[in-house]
Amino acid sequence: MFHLFRVFLFLFDPERAHHLAMSVLQFFSAFGSLHFVLRGFRPRINDPVVVAGLQFPNRVGLAAGFDKNARYLRAAHALGFGHVEVGTITPRPQAGNPKPRLFRLPSAQALINRMGFNNDGMELIVRRIKYKPAGLILGCNLGKNKDTPLHEAHVDYLSVMQCFYQHVDYFTVNVSSPNTPQLRQLQESAWLSKILDPLIEYRRQQKSYKPIFLKISPDLTSEQIHEVADCSVASGIDGIIATNTTVNRSVLRPNDQKLAVQYGDGGLSGAPLSGQARQLTQSLLLALNGRLPVLASGGMMNVESAESRIKMGVPLIQLYTGFVYSGPKLIYTIASIGKGNKKD
């Protein structure tokens, strides 16, 4: 059934298809009727994983970027995701980059996006998440507005955190999207400390403790990986998510490279990213040497790609492009890996 549904959706522009699919799933999930549209639909796997003191219902989450505006939380929960990361969210609403800005590479099982942090802004989105489904772990992916200069970026990140602190379970600092000019410069230790320190200090002043993660680029050099690892540990954050999308096109086959050139700039995700993300994850784990957990996002297309990260000691998996191409079954199968025998 999903295969036919996907064939239908792929007739539409990718961005339109995305919202159409999730709106349908949101509608049916409201009535507990997902089995009518997803033949062979399986129930959620309950197999708790504890990371940074937070208990996740299972190891599989929906990565940031998929539900930017917290419109599809009920559908994501009904599909079996153990957590959802909304955003990236900025203080003020912004339209993002001009359309078209999302492209498929079906033969490569990949996507190229240059969305540009399009979102409804923190004040509207926070009102939506007050009605999240019970039992769903919710993360907030923090970003800055495009017109905010780098030297004031820390103000944007802190503003969003303050707005959402009482309403979500954890935060992720996004300094690795390739679609906001100069954003990736914030991965440098001097900039990174300026962003993370106010977040840690604000958390220290609160009655409740919310984990803070950092999402990094797969395009970092070995030296940069060590720099990010050391800065993250020194700052007091709780973990690192590896990885965001890549600007590297050499991971594509020649025919797909030609198509990618036609589509233009943007972050590449999906199967071609899997090897690069896996290699960076391994290097990051070595650099951290057990000082912080690493969460896996990027190239999670099948059970094998997820298992390779889990064997490294990664406790949580986040899906985006894998979910687009493989559908809800992938949630169930990855959540079932090593059930009852996971590393925290």
Q: What is the 3-state secondary structure (H, E, C) of 263-313?
A: HCCCEEEEHHHHHHHHHHHHHHHHHHCCCCCEEEECCCCCHHHHHHHHHHC
State the catalytic residue, choosing from 177, 232, 269, 274: 177
Q: Is the pLDDT of residue 130 over 50?
A: yes
Q: Is the pLDDT of residue 342 over 50?
A: no
Question: Does residue 139 lie in a domain region?
Answer: yes
- Per-residue model confidence (pLDDT) at position 33: 59
Q: Is the pLDDT of residue 234 over 50?
A: yes
The pairing of strands 102-105 and 137-142 is unpaired
d(CA 65, CA 68): 5
d(CA 189, CA 230): 9
The answer to whether the beta carbons of residues 316 and 61 sit under 8 Å apart is: yes
d(CA 162, CA 172): 13
- Per-residue model confidence (pLDDT) at position 42: 65
Q: Is the pLDDT of residue 34 over 70?
A: no
Token pair listed for 86: 């909304």
Which residues pair with residue 215 across a beta bridge?
174, 241
Question: Does residue 36 lie in a domain region?
Answer: no
d(CA 178, CA 266): 7
How much is the mean pLDDT over the chain?
A: 92
Of the listed ranges 26-30, 178-182, 335-339, the least confidently predicted one is 26-30
Single pTM value for the model = 0.93
- Per-residue model confidence (pLDDT) at position 343: 42
Q: Count up the domains in the chain and report the number.
A: 1
* Chain centroid offset of residue 31 CA: 27
Rounded to a whole number of angstroms, the distance between the first and last alpha carbons of the chain is 35
Question: Does residue 13 lie in a domain region?
Answer: no
Q: How many other β-carbons are positioned within 10 Å of the β-carbon of residue 336?
A: 15
Question: Does residue 272 lie in a domain region?
Answer: yes
Give the CATH number, domain containing residue 259: 3.20.20.70
Question: Does residue 15 lie in a domain region?
Answer: no
> In the Cβ-directed half-sphere of 34, how many Cα atoms lie within 13 Å?
23
The pairing of strands 83-89 and 60-62 is parallel
- Per-residue model confidence (pLDDT) at position 27: 74
Domain assignment of residue 149, given as a range = 45-335
Question: Does residue 63 lie in a domain region?
Answer: yes
Write out pLDDT tens, residues 77-95: 988 999 999 999 999 999 9
Question: Does residue 125 lie in a domain region?
Answer: yes
Q: Tell me the pLDDT band of 41, cut-offs 50, 70 and 90.
A: low
- Per-residue model confidence (pLDDT) at position 31: 59
Question: Does residue 119 lie in a domain region?
Answer: yes
Write out pLDDT tens, residues 144-164: 999 999 999 999 999 999 999
Q: Is the pLDDT of residue 37 over 60?
A: no
Write out pLDDT tens, residues 185-203: 999 999 999 999 999 999 9
- 177 labelled catalytic: yes
